């Protein structure tokens, strides 16, 4: 169904079937069905309160759905899912290197191996020089890159991101968008990226889904006709503008 | 740099000391009510062996009580934080405990623990444990929910979550609790010594009956010095533990 980005299919497929979730009286997700192919880069867009963050937490297993089923295929590997939050949420008493190594530490990987792996992934996000620093000594963009490195250190097959770059300045965001897209191309994991930014969704993803208010289904499910390798030139191209227009109209119908 | 911070604090001390000396010598204040600072100093020198021995006892009592409330308070807070139900069941008693005036139960302590060090330690412990419990509990319970989610995602055990996340995250609050407890432990030790009969508390009690206000003042000054030293020690610990990452220890 979907092209697999690299030679090796590392990503997992996610199948959501009639998912329901309410907080007390408030129904946040109602009867949502969505298929995400292995190795896909999916952006989930929607107005505030459409349940997109809740949906991501359900996929991560942090919240259970009230109804419906979630299937991840293949499901056998432990700790294959990584989650990046809206803010970096680092441990302030640990160095950058120790923060990036944290997931491996919790999974019981030995010290020298986990530090070596953390060091490698920090280099991938351009933080080799900052390994020994503490989070309070970093800029917001650097902190978010540590957070990204921490998510990638376990070599996840499913990467979930909840508006991760929303608090950053535009230049930093542009840079991280491209970095994330490249990491996805290199690693071939499945990525689900939740955002309220139409620009970011269109620029990053291969497929964008616009949710309706209160999660009553999907307004638009579109495969974006954009090149695989994304660069800043694309930001000003009519190709991207066209895709953004499609997403914008779907969002406006919702607003 | 350090000196520039100390000098402003020394000026009021010198002014008050000199003014007091002058007021007593000029006869405005009776010397048996408030002794002139020079007399307090002379007593300090003259009675130094006795005063130093008393200071050593009080220090031991206060430090033991403080160490017990630090360890016990943190352990109790960790226990209370383990579930909402446990907290609801036990925390009210911790609060109630706090409201019991130690001076009123000090005679009971003597009955239970006898005269001497054990009563002093118990008294110092009782008055200083609550701030440790309250601050540690607040710190542990206010751990970032996103980080708790992260630990859950990677299958961390509750012991690992406590040790690697909740406890270090609570350290700034724990140290605040210890800072308060340090001062209270000295007060508790002196109260215990009034009844338990040793240390600076006992010196104050005996000097009072002999109308030796100079000696009372000398003992009180030493007790304050002990409190300050303990405070300084906890500040040092705090600096060592937090200087790399917490805003409170970074200038």
Give the pLDDT confidence score for residue A9 in this predicted structure: 57
Asked if pLDDT for residue A5 goes beyond 50, the answer is: no
Strand order in the sheet with A13-23: A26-36, A13-23, A67-73
Our CA dihedral for B13, B17, B23, B27, rounded to 10 degrees, sits at: 150
Contact B61, B189 (CB under 8 A): yes
**Average pLDDT across chain A, whole number:** 89
Q: How confident is the model at residue B75 (pLDDT cuts 50, 70, 90)?
A: very high
| Full 3-state SS string of chain B | CHHHHHHHHHHHHHHHHHHHHHHHHCCCCCCCCCCCHHHHHHHHHHCHHHHHHHHHHHHHHHHHHHHHHHHHHHHHHHHHHCCHHHHHHHHHHHHHHHHCCHHHHHHHHHHHHCCCHHHHHHHHHHHHHHHHHHHHHHHHHCCCHHHHHHHHHCCCCHHHHHHHHHHHHHHHHHHHHHHHHHHHHHHHHHHHHHHHCCHHHHHHHHHHHCCCHHHHHHHHHHHHHHHHHHHHHHHHHHHHHHCCCCHHHCC
What is the nearest CA distance from A57 to chain B, expressed in angstroms? 10
A vs B, Cβ pairs < 8 A, gives 56
What is the nearest CA distance from A43 to chain B, expressed in angstroms? 22
User: Given an 8 Å threshold on Cβ–Cβ distance, is A81 in contact with B171?
Assistant: no
* % chain A with pLDDT above 90: 65
Give the pLDDT confidence score for residue A91 in this predicted structure: 96
| Residue predicted with more confidence, B180 or B32 | B180
The overall pTM is greater than 0.90: no
Asked if pLDDT for residue A2 goes beyond 70, the answer is: no
Of A155, A134, A132, A123, the residue nearest A90 (C-alpha): A134
Asked if pLDDT for residue B102 goes beyond 90, the answer is: no
Sign of CA dihedral B8, B13, B18, B23: positive
Q: Which two tokens stand for residue A159?
A: 């990467």
Q: How confident is the model at residue A6 (pLDDT cuts 50, 70, 90)?
A: very low
What is the distance between the alpha carbons of residues B77 and A112, in angstroms, rounded to a whole number? 34
* Residue whose tokens read 């104050």: B204
ipTM comes to 0.89
A145-154, A156-165, A196-205, B4-13 — which is least confidently predicted?
B4-13
Chain A residues whose CB is inside 8 A of the B168 CB are 91, 93
User: Given an 8 Å threshold on Cβ–Cβ distance, is B151 in contact with A106?
Assistant: yes
* Residue whose tokens read 């119908």: A253
Q: Per-residue pLDDT averaged across B138-147, rounded?
A: 94
Give the pLDDT confidence score for residue A7 in this predicted structure: 41
Chain B residues whose CB is inside 8 A of the A94 CB are 245
Give the pLDDT confidence score for residue A3 in this predicted structure: 43
Count Cβ neighbours within 10 Å for each residue of A168-207 and write b for 16 or more, e otherwise. Answer: beeebbbbbbbebbebbeebbbbbbbbbbbbbbbbbbbbb
Give the pLDDT confidence score for residue B251 in this predicted structure: 61
User: Given an 8 Å threshold on Cβ–Cβ distance, is A79 in contact with B155?
Assistant: yes
- Strand A13-23 and strand A67-73: the pairing is antiparallel
| Residue predicted with more confidence, B146 or A77 | B146
Q: How confident is the model at residue A51 (pLDDT cuts 50, 70, 90)?
A: confident
**Average pLDDT across chain B, whole number:** 92
């Amino acid at each position: 169904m979907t092209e697999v980005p690299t030679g090796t299919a590392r990503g997992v497929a996610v199948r959501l079937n009639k998912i329901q979730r309410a907080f007390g009286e408030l129904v946040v997700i109602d009867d949502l069905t969505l298929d995400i192919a292995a190795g896909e880069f999916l952006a989930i867009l929607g107005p505030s309160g459409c349940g997109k963050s809740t949906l991501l937490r359900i996929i991560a297993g942090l919240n259970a759905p009230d109804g419906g089923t979630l299937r991840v295929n293949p499901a056998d590997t432990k700790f294959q899912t990584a989650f990046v939050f809206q803010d970096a949420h680092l441990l302030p008493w640990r160095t950058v290197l120790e923060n990036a190594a944290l997931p491996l530490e919790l999974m019981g990987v030995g010290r020298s191996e986990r530090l070596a792996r953390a060091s490698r992934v920090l280099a991938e996000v351009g933080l080799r020089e900052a390994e020994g620093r503490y989070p309070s000594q970093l800029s917001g963009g650097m902190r978010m890159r540590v957070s990204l490195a921490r998510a990638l250190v376990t070599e996840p097959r499913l990467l979930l991101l909840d508006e991760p770059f929303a608090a950053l300045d535009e230049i930093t965001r542009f840079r991280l968008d491209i970095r994330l897209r490249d990491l996805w191309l290199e690693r071939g994991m499945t990525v689900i990226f939740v955002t309220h930014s139409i620009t970011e969704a269109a620029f990053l993803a291969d497929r964008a889904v616009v949710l309706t208010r209160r999660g009553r289904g999907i307004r638009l499910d579109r495969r974006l006709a954009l090149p695989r390798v994304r660069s800043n030139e694309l930001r000003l191209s009519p190709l991207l503008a066209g895709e953004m227009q499609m997403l914008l109209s779907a969002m406006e119908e919702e607003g | 740099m350090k000196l520039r911070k100390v000098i402003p604090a020394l000026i009021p001390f010198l002014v008050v000391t000199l003014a007091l000396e002058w007021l007593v010598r000029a006869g405005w204040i009776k010397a048996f009510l408030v002794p002139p600072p020079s007399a307090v100093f002379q007593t300090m020198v003259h009675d130094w062996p006795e005063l130093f021995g008393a200071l050593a006892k009080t220090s031991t009592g206060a430090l033991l009580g403080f160490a017990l409330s630090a360890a016990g308070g943190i352990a109790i807070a960790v226990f209370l934080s383990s579930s909402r139900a446990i907290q609801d069941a036990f925390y009210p008693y911790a609060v109630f405990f706090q409201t019991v005036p130690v001076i009123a139960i000090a005679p009971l302590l003597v009955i239970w623990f006898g005269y001497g060090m054990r009563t002093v330690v118990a008294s110092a412990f009782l008055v200083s444990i609550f701030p440790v419990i309250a601050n540690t509990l607040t710190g542990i319970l206010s751990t970032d929910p996103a980080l708790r989610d992260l630990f859950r995602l990677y299958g961390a055990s509750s012991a690992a979550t406590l040790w690697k996340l909740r406890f270090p995250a609570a350290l700034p609050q724990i140290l605040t609790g210890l800072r308060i407890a340090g001062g209270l432990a000295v007060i508790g030790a002196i109260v215990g010594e009034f009844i338990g009969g040793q240390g600076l508390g006992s010196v104050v009690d005996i000097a009072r009956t002999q109308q030796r206000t100079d000696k009372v003042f000398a003992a009180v000054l030493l007790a304050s010095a002990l409190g300050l030293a303990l405070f300084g020690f906890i500040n040092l610990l705090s600096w060592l533990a937090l200087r790399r990452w917490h805003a409170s220890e970074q200038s």
